[in-house]
Amino acid sequence: MYFYVNVLMTLIVLLFLVSGILVKSGKYQWLFSGYETKQELQSGRDYIKRLRNFIGNFCFVIGAILLLAGIFDHYHVFYGLVLSIASLFFVVAFMLIRVQKYDRQILPDKKRKGGARILLGSLVVILVIVGGMLIYGSMEASVEVGPDRIEIGGLCGTTIDMSRVSDILMINELPKIQSKNSGFDFANVLKGNFRLQGIGEGKLYVSSGTPPFIEIKYDDSFVIMNFKDSNTTHKIYDGINKLRKAE
């Protein structure tokens, strides 16, 4: 799932950057047709150019922030990611306020308020989508242990055949994360494919930064997981070991 999210985010970044170039170059002149019809503006062309530059620069800034957020997310820089997301909303809020400078001189109150509602509504939709993704991603993974397989449900879930498991360990320290290839990474919650120092690439389903952690080795990969309640972590570990010994 998050592979497609990453592709979508890349396309969105490109969309903002390309839109910024096209707007500043005058390719989207139809966006400013309502301003051109006002003959009372003595410096109409200069006025439109300033507005065009403002919107183009806004597109560049949003694209750059989203690009930085993606880089911070990939390299597991949590505070950088949080600052990027926070700055995004400040920039959008600034744009909503600043653009009124242009609308106030051109548009009647009714149309100006209507445009503000549309922009505000768009911001609310973005907040709801981002908030929903954070809530869903932060939910603990469900784990079902059977005699022939281990099923990990939820976001970035996977299934491991018990016959492929070569070892299972209880560890007290999570190896250093070098990068995230795809998945969810927010606060102490980690889900998806990560590259860890010393052991390579595998899957993480970590709900708490506090040990213990279960490490399941299989084929040439691994799964490391834990739960907020350490008793649940121990229970899952004991259940897997009991079934492996019964084989």
pLDDT for residue 42: 46
CB < 8 Å & 24+ apart, contacts of 161-167:
161/218, 162/243, 162/244, 162/247, 164/218, 164/219, 165/216, 165/217, 165/218, 165/240, 165/244, 166/217, 166/218, 166/219, 167/216, 167/217
Q: In what order do the strands lie in the sheet with 177-186?
A: 165-171, 213-218, 221-226, 200-206, 189-196, 177-186
- DSSP-based three-state secondary structure for 152: strand
**pTM for the complete prediction?**
0.61
Query: Where exactly are the structural domains of the chain?
Result: 2-138, 143-246
User: Is residue 218 classed as helix, strand or coil in its secondary structure?
Assistant: strand
Sign, CA torsion 118/123/129/132: negative
Q: What tokens appear for 111 in the block?
A: 């149309």
What's the CA gap between 222 and 198, in Å, rounded?
12
DSSP of 187-200 = TTEEEEEEEETTTE
Residue identified by tokens 């989207």 is 28
Per-residue pLDDT 10s for the chain (247 aa) are 555 556 767 788 888 888 888 878 776 655 555 554 444 444 555 666 777 788 888 889 988 988 888 788 777 676 787 788 888 878 877 877 776 665 555 544 544 455 455 555 666 676 677 767 777 777 888 999 988 999 999 888 899 999 999 999 999 999 988 888 877 887 778 898 999 999 999 999 998 788 899 999 999 899 999 998 999 999 999 999 888 876 6
Those residues with Cβ within 8 angstroms of residue 179's Cβ, 6 or more apart along the chain or in another chain: 74, 75, 76, 194, 195
> What's the pLDDT score for residue 40?
47
pLDDT at 37: 47
Question: Do 193 and 179 touch, CB atoms closer than 8 A?
Answer: no
Contacts of 87 (CB under 8 A, 6+ apart): 65
- Is there a contact between 237 and 168 (Cβ–Cβ < 8 Å)? yes
pLDDT reported for residue 127: 66
Contact 111, 120 (CB under 8 A): no
Q: Which helix (H) or strand (E) holds 109?
A: helix 109-138
As a whole number of angstroms, the distance between CA 53 and CA 70 comes to 26
